[in-house]
Structure 1
Amino acid sequence: MKKFFVAIVSIIFTFSAFGTIVSAEESGVQLVDTAKSAMLIERDTGQVLFEKNGNEKLPPASMTKIMTMLLIMEAIDKGELTWDEKIRTSEHAASMGGSQIFLEPGEEMTTDEMVRGIAIASGNDASVAMAERIAGSEEAFVQLMNDKVKELGLKDTKFQNPTGLPAKEHYSTAYDMAIIAKELLKYEDITKYTGKYEDYLRENTDKKFWLVNTNRLVKFYPGVDGLKTGFTQEAKYCLTATAKKDDMRVIAVVFGAPTPKDRNAQISKMLDFAFTQYKTHPMFDRNEAVAKVKVSKGSKKEIDAVTSEPISMLTKKSETVDDVIQEIKINEKIQAPVKKGDPVGTITLKKGDEIVSESELVAGEDSPAASWWKLFKRTMGQFTKVND
């Protein structure tokens, strides 16, 4: 069991009444009729605003690539991958069927170009090329995908490939897909890709390739900037969409709609409901320093604990936040080496005894293990101070 040092830092933001969030179902609103399952959440809090069969296991088709993009963004964030690195296409990656950007064996594209191919055109070949670069093989990458599922605490998702091509025991749920999307959207750069309606690859060559976003709502619904469509004969029409208006970002998921028109209409209804009924109150940005962490035997004795994601409160449009207590818990005995992004504690927002938001705090920078000489000098310095 982890031990914590607890600090109730302050009472922040005192406004008027804070109300209980009421979901669409509780208020008698029906937003989805023909899709097999659906989910609507607010991104920062994860608050469920609408659900239909949210835990039913179904094939996610190319919405699988939301997890693929999440692992790419994590690798970039950790410094294990750069946007301008050239990624070589293997024979296996080039052989992928279905949606593709027609990579040839041996062809190289930058991470930036590959992600555009995945996010805009749903390229299966680009997805496998990136999987092989990150993990060494497609199979090893799939293991990383399923490890991430467990890390997120999801129990109804299992992946067999990074593309969403039909496979036995490859499934997810509307709820799980919304949470994976929530995690991906920590990395705000991703919407620069998923939010583009059209782009080009291989420009200035005789193989110039036009990318058109499979998510038409990017063009036709104001504020939509992602995330990923999906279609197979088994899965039917699927979409995990995200939209932002003012300070509020929401995620809407549909599995198994009978037509693209039905899929888009039902997503639009959910987005309309969220933006007309609710309001987000931002509290912290991602990577905002909120506490100091002492690192035992580290080259840096103290580092910042920073927020791992944007942190907000959610209310009905007619309500505002009232008497919210901010509680920070820092793990005891944090010992070097510490890498940027390592978990170091939690930040919790409370209304009385009710937890309304809880999020992980992470290391804002590296603190490698100190050399023996540095530790010796540090010890001698403390000894000198005691004897002065």
Structure 2
Amino acid sequence: MKRLMLALLMTAVPALGHAFDTRASSAWVYDMTTHTVLLDKNAHVPEHPASMSKLMTLNMLFEALHEGRVTMDTTFPVSEKAWRMGGSKMFVKPDDRPTVEELIHGIIVNSGNDACVVVAEGLGGTEEHFAEMMNERAAQLGLNDSHFANSSGWPHPDHLMSMHDLGVLAVRLITEFPELYQNFAVRSFDYKNRVPANSQNRNPLLDIRAGDWQADGLKTGHTEQSGYGLVGSAESRTDGRRIVFVLNGLQSNADRATEAEAIANFAFRQFAQKSVIQPGQRVGAADVWMGEATQVGLVAPQEVKLLVPVQSQDQITAEIVYTGPVQAPVAKGQELAQMHIRVPGMNDQTIALVAETDVPAGGFGTRLMTAARVLADRFLAADTAGGQSAS
């Protein structure tokens, strides 16, 4: 196993420090652009998610839309159970036939528990069966810290999600359903002029003008058991980076608002996205056995971008590891090695390195020279060993 050490130097900027101690009892912050976890506080602990778990109901509905099982104009009936739901409501009535589009707004903007039951019964027949469907789909999506007892997040001892699972679900909604994700930025919805006091989107970040970033989703939650929580997402106006963050266990709506804004500022201002290797840039070389050349350059097949704490930009190191010497012939683009990149305070990153050029197998002369070199090395080793034993 061959190992090559090198430093990846970048221009440093003033240090700001990247530790963040959130007041939330649990949190998960993720940079979608570089696939980097920026904060993990009790993120894999299942807990009461309140209305944040409505994201799973929306995922089920978005999947039905994508698969053509329903359209935005499809209407669902309203059962007495849906009509009698307490808590946050869209205020549907038994003689209504709300459309899928109206129900999406009712769930996102009004956080309607009644709207969730309408969707659950419309897709699953009963809410109980829909909860089973949610659990089956959650297992398929790898949401291993989640279990659903209902469609709305109504308090139930067995209705649990981790902040990590909520974040992963948010990433899915953003990446898999971009045209539907836009609904999370809708500011107000008043179904049939029935909910003027409950018609505004409760996401406290939608109205913030931070200058360098803008929030556009996703969902708040609150019960006495869970405290105040938020699944949020925001995008940088400067470099297009997108973050997803989940907070729970805060003491008030005001705490949720201030902590969410602080998290976004932390994610965008304490970290910088940097290009450390360009496509085709030679970063090392591997020894070649029985080839027309004795070495071949190692290059990255695509640009390598890292998210780094601003105070660590001059401390990035890397190690190239490969099994060598590499047997000729070698084809350009052939994967030969791995580079392990280390950034202080962050998880290590591993990228593949490929051959810079072709290296054909050597001819008769190359084989003869290689054989002679091997014999010479063996005689030298034997002579050295003999000399050591004689002494």
TM-score normalised to the size of structure 2?
0.64
Alignment match, 1:275: 268
Match of 1:200 among 183, 190, 211: 190
CA shift, 1:43, in A, is 2.6
Alignment match, 2:217: 226
Alignment match, 2:242: 249
CA shift, 1:93, in A, is 1.4
Alignment match, 1:174: 163
Q: CA RMSD in A?
A: 3.2
Q: Could you list the runs of 5+ residues in structure 1 that have no partner in the other structure?
A: 1-15, 20-26, 282-311, 320-348, 358-388
Distance, in Å, in 2 between the alignment partners of 1:89 and 1:314 is: 50
Alignment match, 2:299: none
Alignment match, 1:306: none
| 3-state secondary structure, aligned to 1:212 | coil
Distance, in Å, in 1 between the alignment partners of 2:60 and 2:174 is: 12
Distance, in Å, in 2 between the alignment partners of 1:351 and 1:106 is: 66
1:23-48 superposed Cα distances (whole Å, 9 cap, x missing partner): xxxx651240x211011002355421
1:315-370 superposed Cα distances (whole Å, 9 cap, x missing partner): 33877xxxxxxxxxxxxxxxxxxxxxxxxxxxxx999366769xxxxxxxxxxxxx
Alignment match, 2:338: 352
1:112-139 superposed Cα distances (whole Å, 9 cap, x missing partner): 1110010011000111101111122211
Q: How does 1:329-340 map to 2 (within 5 A)?
A: none
Distance, in Å, in 2 between the alignment partners of 1:280 and 1:183 is: 25
Question: Given the alignment of the two structures, is residue 237 of structure 1 paired with residue 221 of structure 2, yes or no?
Answer: no
Distance, in Å, in 2 between the alignment partners of 1:149 and 1:350 is: 38
Contact 1:31 1:266 in 2 (8 A): no
CA shift, 1:59, in A, is 0.4
Query: What is the aligned-residue identity percentage?
Result: 30
TM-score normalised to the size of structure 1?
0.64
| 3-state secondary structure, aligned to 1:220 | coil
Distance, in Å, in 1 between the alignment partners of 2:268 and 2:207 is: 18
CA shift, 1:220, in A, is 2.0
CA shift, 1:202, in A, is 2.0
CA shift, 1:153, in A, is 1.7
Alignment match, 1:191: 181
Contact 1:248 1:280 in 2 (8 A): no
Contact 1:46 1:182 in 2 (8 A): no
Q: Could you list the runs of 5+ residues in structure 2 that have no partner in the other structure?
A: 1-6, 11-16, 276-303, 314-334, 341-348, 352-391
Alignment match, 2:53: 64
1:138-179 superposed Cα distances (whole Å, 9 cap, x missing partner): 112111211122112222111111101100111111111111
Contact 2:173 2:181 in 1 (8 A): no
| 3-state secondary structure, aligned to 2:76 | strand
Contact 1:31 1:270 in 2 (8 A): no
Distance, in Å, in 1 between the alignment partners of 2:50 and 2:195 is: 27
Distance, in Å, in 1 between the alignment partners of 2:249 and 2:263 is: 16
1:66-122 superposed Cα distances (whole Å, 9 cap, x missing partner): 111111111111111111112221112112111001111131111111100100110
Alignment match, 1:111: 100
CA shift, 1:270, in A, is 1.6
Q: Identify if the C-alpha distance between structure 1 residues 174 and 165 changes in structure 2 by more than 3 Å, giving closer, same or farther.
A: same
Distance, in Å, in 2 between the alignment partners of 1:18 and 1:250 is: 26
Q: How many residues align?
A: 277
Question: Given the alignment of the two structures, is residue 160 of structure 1 paired with residue 137 of structure 2, yes or no?
Answer: no
Contact 1:89 1:107 in 2 (8 A): yes
Distance, in Å, in 2 between the alignment partners of 1:38 and 1:160 is: 23
Match of 1:72, as an amino acid?
Answer: L
Alignment match, 1:37: 26
Q: How does 1:18-37 map to 2 (within 5 A)?
A: 29-32=19-22, 34-37=23-26
Question: Whose helix proportion is higher, 1 or 2?
Answer: 2
Match of 1:199, as an amino acid?
Answer: F
Match of 1:94 among 83, 97, 101: 83
Alignment match, 1:216: 204
Contact 1:91 1:106 in 2 (8 A): no
1:286-339 superposed Cα distances (whole Å, 9 cap, x missing partner): xxxxxxxxxxxxxxxxxxxxxxxxxx95533877xxxxxxxxxxxxxxxxxxxx
Distance, in Å, in 1 between the alignment partners of 2:79 and 2:249 is: 33
CA shift, 1:199, in A, is 3.0
Larger radius of gyration: 2
